[in-house]
Structure 1
């Protein structure tokens, strides 16, 4: 019965979040982009929604999203070409649970882990 999920993550600044997801990750704005306190971004078959949380302390973040892909190498290389910072403790590597994964932190320290089954 369940068929889709759209995580909702906090953001301190709509413009900063929008720029990062557009320019560093290759997402597009979804829906109405005229809300300062809410933002919807999409890429391929996924959406991530953001709500304004101006007093957010990014150093106290435990938010994580796992995103699956069918071409992790190409996506990883496209991020490197754009200069997108890869999490220093989570470079592209094969994990014991038979996933090839890497992670990044967005401007609000939401951890995005991208993975592909091997």
Structure 2
């Protein structure tokens, strides 16, 4: 039986990725081991893994994750307070499919969409 999922996304620079997720989005490191070309972070019940891909062209990266939340308004406001850039085409809005959503692009152009049912 499936119990959880940990998406794996590409990263070019572990230091930049770690800084973005920890300091901008409020994630924390997972585990005590520090692997040179791998990173694991978590926030609440969500865990993301990153693998090093130094030759990644961010303009050609199609990595995407959809996060469900139960308090999208507060989370969105906390990101604005930290001056986290919101995707210019995806500010907080109610979508026709019944989700309130917004999106971000991380340093490697992985699309992070956050949504809550309305």
Structure 1 residue 32, shift from structure 2 partner:
3.0
Q: Superposed, which structure 2 residues align to 1:83-102 within 5 Å? A: 83-102=83-102
- 2: distance between equivalents of 1:33 and 1:104? 28
What does residue 20 of structure 2 align with? 20
- What RMSD in Å do the two structures reach over aligned CA positions? 0.8
- 2: distance between equivalents of 1:33 and 1:94? 40
What does residue 4 of structure 1 align with? 4
- 2: distance between equivalents of 1:90 and 1:61? 18
Structure 1 residue 106, shift from structure 2 partner:
0.2
SS at the partner of 1:73?
helix
Total equivalences in the alignment: 118
Q: What are the ranges of 5 or more consecutive residues in structure 2 without an aligned counterpart?
A: none
- 2: distance between equivalents of 1:73 and 1:33? 34
Report if the CA contact (8 A) 1:33-1:39 is conserved: no
Q: What are the ranges of 5 or more consecutive residues in structure 1 without an aligned counterpart?
A: none
Tell me which moved more, 24-33 or 12-21: 24-33
- 2: distance between equivalents of 1:36 and 1:104? 26
Q: Hey, which bits of structure 1, 4+ residues long, moved more than 6 A?
A: none
SS at the partner of 2:90?
coil
What does residue 41 of structure 1 align with? 41
Q: Confirm whether residue 68 of structure 1 aligns to residue 68 of structure 2.
A: yes
What does residue 113 of structure 1 align with? 113
TM-score, normalised via structure 2 length: 0.97
Report if the CA contact (8 A) 1:86-1:104 is conserved: yes
TM-score, normalised via structure 1 length: 0.97
Q: Deviations over 1:33-71 (max 9, x none)?
A: 521200000000000000000000001011111000000
SS at the partner of 2:18?
helix
